[in-house]
Amino acid sequence: MKCALCGFEFNEKEAQRACSGCVLIKSCNLVKCPNCGYESPLEPRFIKKIRAWRREKR
């Protein structure tokens, strides 16, 4: 994933669940950037494939 705020690229496994401690909604599918803490939704699968394809082309 790439953070929309700071541009830091990270793996979803590295990202902290944004609402892991939230009492109201347990599965909101938001993740936090490990660099800046900005919350964003999970990256769609097709975006992951495009990003992987671009890495292979380099």
What pLDDT tens digit does each residue of the chain (58 aa) get?
Answer: 888 899 998 887 787 655 566 666 666 778 888 888 888 888 888 988 888 888 888 7
Range of the domain at 42: 16-57
On whether residue 36 sits in a domain, the answer given is yes
On whether residue 24 sits in a domain, the answer given is yes
In the sheet with 30-32, reading across from the earlier edge strand, the strands are 16-17, 30-32, 39-41
On whether residue 32 sits in a domain, the answer given is yes
Task: Dihedral sign for Cα 20, 22, 23, 27, please.
Answer: negative
On whether residue 3 sits in a domain, the answer given is no
Q: Which pTM value belongs to this model?
A: 0.64
On whether residue 2 sits in a domain, the answer given is no
On whether residue 45 sits in a domain, the answer given is yes
Distance of CA 22 to the CA centre of its chain: 18
* Total number of domains in the chain: 1
